[in-house]
Amino acid sequence: MSKNMISVASFALLGLIVGYAIFGKWGGEYVSLNNLFSFGGNALQNALRSISGLEDMRNKILLCGAAGAVVGVLATFRFKK
């Protein structure tokens, strides 16, 4: 069971890394992880993140991580047989 979880977690991490490499650039430079994954804050900070595109960037990167996790689950079941 733990081998399956390690596989899924590693594929999810790989998906996050690939997503950050693809969608993490803004203005020719990568956005810092602290700015990208800082949740919370007040309404003004949330509005600025939404306007600047950080929310959209974060969602795309998180979706890549989720897709990696799905690939990990599918690979685990495929190679389990």
pLDDT digits (tens, 9 = 90+) for 56-72: 888 999 999 999 999 99
Q: What is the pTM of this model?
A: 0.80
pLDDT at res. 53: 78
For residue 15, pLDDT over 90 is answered with: yes
For residue 75, pLDDT over 80 is answered with: yes
pLDDT at res. 43: 73
* Strand (E) or helix (H) holding 21: helix 2-23
- How far is 35 from 29, CA to CA, in rounded Å? 13
At 38, list the tokens.
């800082």
> Which residue has tokens 């069971």?
1
DSSP codes, 44-78: HHHHHHHHHTHHHHHHHHHHHHHHHHHHHHHHHHH
